[in-house]
Amino acid sequence: MEDQRAPDLEIARVAARQHGAISTRQLRTAGLSKAAISGRQRRGRLHCLHRGLYAVGHIAPSNERRWMAAVLALGGEDELGSGAVLSHRSAAALWGLLPPEEGRVDISLPSRNGRGKRKGIRVHRPSSLEPAETTQRFGIPATSPSRTLADLRSVVSGRELRRATRQANFFGLPIGPEVASDGTRSELERRFLWLCGRHHLLTPVVNMRIGSMTVDFCWVEQKLVVETDGYRAHRGRTAFEDDRARDLRLRVLGYDVLHFSYRQVFEEPEQVVELLRATLLPPAGAT
């Protein structure tokens, strides 16, 4: 009898910390076979939320379970290293900055090698998402308050952004001084923009749309684009190929493209500034 109860005890433990959601991998780890999982579905003990993701015991609505299930469906705790986190409007609701909404859940996945589309989930693939910009709230992996507010700039009205910022201030959340004003979306972008100001370089447009693409920084008249590349968002063969294809499209449109890594911006700023100056200034004798 004790051996038969062991899977149920483990399933209950995992589901309790995940707001009632559990993945197929976790069910198998707890000791259930594929047939046993199917049997529990038929008996109403497991309810499918996403492919490979279940609610344990009941299907009563819960925002926390819906958010956690979306994170798990794209990797999250079930696939260590994937980096899937709740973000944008969904993270704002988790932090209490905006009211929860029905519809798709926002998930940021900083690796292009992650899982594909899932029904009920809106996937964001940011150009940079550093570890310091992610955390957990109520056990749910999510973007930090400051990163959440930065992401909201592109998906909500100015009125909603101000409301969310006021709520963050009311709750005493760490949001940083630049979130509501400079348009950056990460610590790396903020540092790069600070470098430009510190060394009196021309101020770029931040997170500018060029066709279907959003580039980190753009000097429009000089036709120069700079991408600041966090390691987690740009590792792997697929990410490498995607970046090269993106650069080619920008060059076809007449833009020069420079890439700077997290290490270069923070540890080698002099070289970064020197290359920017050489690229932005016209050649000697040019009119």
pLDDT in tens, 76-128: 544 434 578 999 999 999 999 999 988 889 999 876 655 567 788 999 888 77
Q: Mean of the pLDDT values across residues 155-183? A: 77
Q: Specify the higher pLDDT residue, 178 or 206.
A: 206
Domain boundaries 187-280, corresponding CATH code: 3.40.960.10
Domains in the chain: boundaries: 1-60, 62-176, 187-280
Pairing state between β 105-108 and 121-124: parallel
Q: Specify the higher pLDDT residue, 286 or 13.
A: 13
Return the pLDDT at 162: 84
Does the pTM exceed 0.75? Answer: no
Q: Mean of the pLDDT values across residues 262-281? A: 91
- The answer on pLDDT for 275 being more than 90 is yes
pLDDT in tens, 34-77: 888 888 888 878 888 787 778 887 666 688 888 988 888 887 54
Ramachandran class of 285: left when φ > 0, alpha when ψ lies in -120 to 50, beta otherwise? left
Asked if domains 1-60 and 187-280 share a fold, the reply is no
- Measured CA to CA, the distance from residue 87 to residue 130 in angstroms comes to 13
Q: Specify the higher pLDDT residue, 132 or 283.
A: 132
Q: Mean of the pLDDT values across residues 237-247? A: 69
Please give the full DSSP string across 68-109, using - where no structure is assigned. Answer: HHHHHHTSGGGSTT---EE-HHHHHHHTTSS---SSPEEEE-
Return the pLDDT at 34: 85
Return the pLDDT at 242: 67
Domain boundaries 1-60, corresponding CATH code: 1.10.10
Average pLDDT score, the chain: 81
